Amino acid sequence: MTATTNDGVSIEIRDDSPAATPGAFTRWAVRLVRDPRDATFVGLTAAALGVMLTLAVLAYVPGVLSPWYALAYLAVLFGVFVDRYILMLHCTSHRRLFARRLAPLNHVIPAVLAPLMGQSPYTYFAHHVGMHHPENNLPDDLSSTLAYRRDSFAHFLHYFGTFIFLGIFQLTRYHLRRKQMKLARMAVLGELSWYLMVVGLALVNVWATLVVLVIPLVLVRFLMMAGNWSQHAFIDGADAANPYKNSITCINTRYNRRCYNDGYHIGHHVKANRHWADMPSDFARNLDRYRDEGAVVFDGIDYFQIWALLMLKRYDALARRYVELRAEPRSVEEIVAHLRQRTRPVAVPGA
pLDDT in tens, 257-306: 999 999 999 999 999 999 999 999 999 999 999 999 999 999 999 999 99
Residue 298 DSSP code: E
For strands 248-251 and 10-12, give the pairing: unpaired
Asked whether residue 350 carries a pLDDT value surpassing 60, the answer given is no
Average pLDDT in the 42-66 region? 97
What pLDDT shows up at residue 349?
A: 61
Q: What is the pTM of this model?
A: 0.96
Is 117:52 a contact under the CB 8 Å cutoff?
A: yes
Percent of the residues in the chain that have a pLDDT greater than 90, as a whole number: 92
Asked whether residue 330 carries a pLDDT value surpassing 80, the answer given is yes
Closest CA to 53 of 113, 103, 6, 107: 113
> What is the rounded average pLDDT for all residues in the chain?
96
**pLDDT, tens only, 91-136:** 999 999 999 999 999 999 999 999 999 999 999 999 999 999 999 9
What pLDDT shows up at residue 34?
A: 97
Asked whether residue 82 carries a pLDDT value surpassing 90, the answer given is yes
Closest CA to 33 of 108, 84, 86: 108
Strand ranges, E, within the chain: 2-4, 10-12, 248-251, 296-299
For strands 296-299 and 248-251, give the pairing: parallel
Q: Cβ contacts of residue 335 below 8 Å, gap of 6+? A: 319, 322, 324
Average pLDDT in the 322-343 region? 96
Residue 131 DSSP code: I
Categorize the per-residue pLDDT at 38 as very low, low, confident or very high, splitting at 50, 70 and 90.
very high
Asked whether residue 339 carries a pLDDT value surpassing 70, the answer given is yes
What pLDDT shows up at residue 19?
A: 79
Is 156:311 a contact under the CB 8 Å cutoff?
A: yes
What pLDDT shows up at residue 46?
A: 97
Alpha-carbon distances of 164 from 114, 127, 224, rounded to whole Å:
17, 13, 11
Write the DSSP string, 42-109: HHHHHHHHHHHHHHHHHHTSTTT--HHHHHHHHHHIIIIIHHHHHHHHHHHHHS--B-GGGGGGGGII
What pLDDT shows up at residue 278?
A: 96
Q: Cβ contacts of residue 49 below 8 Å, gap of 6+? A: 108, 112, 113, 116
